[in-house]
Structure 1
Amino acid sequence: MSPRTRPSASGRLLRAARRLAAPAAAALLAVFALSSAGTANAVTVPAPPSGWTTVFSDNFAGAANSAPNASKWKFDTGAGSSFGTGEIETMTNSTANTHVDGNGHLAITAVKSGGNWTSGRIQTTTANVGAPAGGKLKVAASIQQPNPASGLGYWPAFWMLGPGQWPENGEIDIMEDVNALSKVAGTVHCGTDPGGPCNESNGIGSGLTACAGCQTGYHTYAMVLDRTNASNESVAFSLDGKTYFTVTENQVGAATWKAAFDHKMSIIFDLAMGGGFPNGVCGCTSPAAGTTSGGAMHVGWVAAYTTG
């Protein structure tokens, strides 16, 4: 289904390091946390895999109720209708919608007031992460999905966007869920809209797949853009280290793939309300009158690693 696309140019498990009296206790805690999917005890951004290098990361440290680090993130504000997806919220730069919690988490919260919804959308200040020629890029985040009492219309997303024209310059949706279903979808967008080799505006995606416990705990969502095979590059999506969907260059053609993915991209977190994806899944217009205000997407850490 269609993600947070913008039809023209422009476009979370880390806690802040605890001050433990014994270094051995800190090390033990870190090992336990990084081996336990769905928990919120990690104390650092995970180190890169052997042979990889960290090229971007954030642990969302900061004073409670403050904005995310302005040297890494910028707000993308305005009416959701301007993003081309049918969403109905207004994205703001208010800490009521987007803030760090003082314990090493980012919270993006959808709020209804007077019949109108507000929420938040942040992206890296530049298109700053990409796979080197002949190498790989891994982008991952620890996220707890929104868990409102009534979630019809909620649309959390962790994704990447190429600079320039959409969808030609690419989009990779690493995590999307709608209507608080506790599911996950991975999708790529490329080529032309409508139609084209990526079937726009739906893109080529996994469809929603089960994501048990993803609303009640932190889980690691990741994608690997693999350029080691120059004749058939690929994007693979994983949940807690298990790959569940892969898209290859041969599915869309070399020229289309190169334009979409052989360059740097921005990383984005946002929480939309309503729009084409949630509406398409429920066969209704969302959010509903009874949709719960105040549901939040929480991010513990985010990181990008490269190799090659």
Structure 2
Amino acid sequence: MKRGRHFALAYRRVFCMMARGRFWSALMKAAIAGLLLFLAATPASAAGSMAVTFVEDRAGQPLDLKGYGLTFNEEFDGPLSLQGPRLFAPVHTPIGAGKFDDPQGPAYAAVEVPGEDGRDVTALSITAYKDGGGWRSGNVQSADAAQSYRQAPFGGKGFACRGCYFEARLKFPQAAPGYWAAFWLLSPDQPGIGHVEVDVIEWYGGDPKGHHQSVHVWSKAAPAKHTFKSNFVGMKDVIADGRWHNYGALQQDGQIVFYVDRREISRVPVTAEFDVPLYALVSLSVLPKEAAAAVGPMVLYADYIRAYAPKGL
């Protein structure tokens, strides 16, 4: 009898534990189902996608700059200055696998590079190189830290422009794993709002999809912290042919139009957030997923960075 009571008590304890286990299992299943329903009902913008579409129906049309005038021109012909008044380095936080050099670092140099007509041109070189166990590279831009992040005015130094055409004449090496170069545009960061980004060209040296262009909104307002839309147009044989090419973007009439050698490659309509002044950046980084296969040094050359503004602006 005593042994029978002990068995009955033990049975009840086991039964209760099993019941509690089934309860928590059912509760967990319900929570997972609820989460899946929530994710399915969440707008696409919260997942990072902008509700815009790149179009290429006008690809090949020449750039028309009638009514525009050259308003910013850095040709790197004089002594290299990356502490103002026109360009600054690095300012932006490091991107990719490694760190950006300070203005006096070996990542930056003014060098003589063969031009298309056989004569040398003086160009900015940005080099990604191994430093101990890590990588170092560089970024230059037409806004200092106060202008980029603290709403300082662009009076007397730096440059930003609204409704302008931005262009950089660049030379990339042959395709190389880990190589990540970009000519891009940013708006000054606004408290509580954020900033926008236009990638005029991103060249991933190990990517067969070629010319990558994109638009981003980096919002500080919930729920969407970062939305973007990207596009690839090939042209790998052009980008990595070892020659100079012009890469540009025009901010006009609610859209961004992208160019290579002053011929349109694509355009995308953008939201009102993009109707703001933009400043220019040229950078070279190392793509993290290809860093182990990358072989340094890797170099990006910039002959000039220019901007054209509507006359009378």
Q: Quick check: TM above 0.5?
A: yes
| Counterparts in 2 of 1:72 and 1:78: CA distance versus 1, 3 Å | closer
Query: 2:308 aligns to what?
Result: 305
How far 1:243 sits from its partner (Å)? 1.4
Could you tell me which amino acid in structure 1 is paired with residue 130 of structure 2? K
Larger Rg: 2
Q: 2:255 aligns with which of 201, 222, 234?
A: 234
Q: Contact between 1:155 and 1:178, CA under 8 Å: does it hold in 2?
A: yes
CA distance in 2, matches of 1:62, 1:189: 34
Contact kept in structure 2, 1:219 and 1:239, CA below 8 Å: yes
Partner of 2:54: none
Aligned pairs for 1:147-226 (under 5 A) are 147=174, 151-164=176-189, 168-181=194-207, 183-190=210-217, 192=219, 200=226, 203-207=228-232, 209-215=234-240, 216-226=242-252
Deviation at 1:49, TM superposition (A): 3.5
Tell me whether 1:70 sits opposite 2:84 in the alignment.
Answer: yes
2:54 is equivalent to residue 51 of structure 1: no
Quote the RMSD (CA, aligned, Å): 2.9
CA drift at 1:213: 3.2
Partner of 1:18: none
Q: Does 1:106 align with 2:124?
A: yes
Q: 1:191 to 1:110 in 2, by over 3 A?
A: closer
Task: Report the Cα distance in structure 2 between the residues aligned to 1:191 and 1:206, rounded to whole angstroms.
Answer: 18
Q: What one-letter code is carried by the residue in structure 1 that aligns with 2:178?
A: G
Q: Which residue of 1 aligns with 2:35?
A: none
Residue pair 2:76, 2:304 contacting (<8 A) in 1 also: yes
In the alignment, which of 283, 292, 295 is matched to residue 292 of structure 1? 295
1:78 deviates by 7.9
Alignment partner of 1:212: what SS? helix
Distance in 1, matches of 2:185 and 2:263, equals: 20
| Counterpart Cα distance in 2 of 1:192 and 1:77 | 20
Distance 1:221 1:295 in 2: 20
Q: Tell me the secondary structure at the aligned position of residue 213 of structure 1.
A: helix
> 1:137 is matched with which residue?
164
Superposition TM-score, scaled by structure 1 size: 0.64
Aligned residues: percent identity? 19
Contact 1:78 1:92 in 2 (8 A): no
**Structure 1 position 50, deviation (Å):** 3.3
Give 1:129 deviation, angstroms: 2.7
Q: Is the 8 A contact 1:204 1:247 kept in 2?
A: no
Secondary structure at 1:286's aligned position in 2?
Answer: helix
1:147-189 CA distances to partner (integer Å, 9 max, x unpaired)? Answer: 37xx222110010111115984211110101134472111111
1:268 is aligned, of 276, 281, 291, to 281
Residue type of the partner of 1:263? V
Instruction: Supply the AA of the counterpart residue of 1:56.
Output: F
Deviation, 1:218, is 0.8
For the Cα contact (< 8 Å) 2:164–2:308, is it kept in 1? yes
1:242 Cα offset (Å): 2.0
Q: Is the 8 A contact 2:193 2:221 kept in 1?
A: no
**Per-residue CA distance 1:54-107 (angstroms, 9 max, x = gap):** 1211111135xx444731111125873xx5xxx121101244101211542010
Q: Distance in 1 between matches of 2:183 and 2:307?
A: 13
Q: Distance in 2 between matches of 1:78 and 1:221?
A: 21
Q: What's the TM-score, normalizing by structure 2?
A: 0.63
Alpha-carbon distance in 2 for matches of 1:146, 1:164: 33
| Cα shift at 1:241 | 1.9
Please give the alpha-carbon distance, in whole angstroms, between the structure 1 residues aligned to 2:131 and 2:83. Answer: 27
The AA in structure 1 aligned to 2:133 is: G
Shift of 1:110: 0.2
Name the count of aligned residue pairs: 223
Asked if the contact 1:237/1:243 (under 8 Å) is kept, the reply is yes
More helix by share: 2
- Paired with 2:303 and 2:284, the residues of 1 have a C-alpha distance of 16
CA distance in 2, matches of 1:208, 1:302: 23
Pair 234,196 (structure 1): closer, same or farther in 2 beyond 3 Å: farther
1:140 positional shift: 0.7
